[in-house]
Amino acid sequence: MNNKQQLIEFLSTQTEIQEIFTILKQQQINEAVLTAGAVRNLVWDKLTQQKYNILQENIDILFADQGLSYEKLLTKKAIINQKYSKYLWNIQNVRQNNSTSHQPFGNSVENALMTIPETCSAVGVSISKQGEFEILAPFGLDDLFNFEIHPNPTWLNNKAKMAAYQRRLNWKNWLDRWPNLKTYSK
């Protein structure tokens, strides 16, 4: 079984993930992608036989809707946070973010995934109209499944971004939860 198939198998065991996409569809947040910690931590917990609890994870959702005003986005976020408060929502319209926002940005979700600080976190999951999981991984899935944390390759020649990457590694304390992780600065 390859990494993509294994990720889809892990996702299919999580009923909450299906619920999350149902909520997003009800709120007309179309072509949404679940990404970052919710996906990364699922894989690392499953591979290390730890109990995964999505209710303790940030639910990082990316979508790209040029026609959605900031005010309407705030309204949607408020409704979702109020009605479905068991989840820790972080919903981002990547079309409204920019390079100084410290959030994924771009004119598409695919481009926004390429702005995430670590390659192992730059993995997005969506559900097709046919109900199948789809995986977006601009840097591939190997780092994620090999327990490797590499900086986004576009950050390597930028001292400020690499300093931010290093601060993020320290702040996240991933090694406390998964001691077999390997971190890289190049």
Assess contact for 141 and 135: CB atoms under 8 A.
yes
Fold exhibited by the domain 3-146: Beta Polymerase; domain 2 (3.30.460)
Confidence of residue 103 (pLDDT cuts 50, 70, 90): low
What sign does the dihedral 138-140-145-149 (CA atoms) show?
Answer: negative
Q: What is the pLDDT of residue 106?
A: 67
Q: What's the pTM?
A: 0.92
Name the band, by pLDDT with cuts 50, 70 and 90, for residue 107: confident
Q: For residues 37 and 172, what is the distance between their CA atoms, to the nearest angstrom?
A: 10
Phi, psi of 26, rounded to the nearest 5 degrees: -60, -35
Confidence band for 55, pLDDT divided at 50, 70 and 90 = very high
Q: What is the pLDDT of residues 115-128, one digit of tens each?
A: 899 999 999 999 99
Q: What is the mean pLDDT of residues 73-100?
A: 88
Mean pLDDT to the nearest integer, 89-98: 82
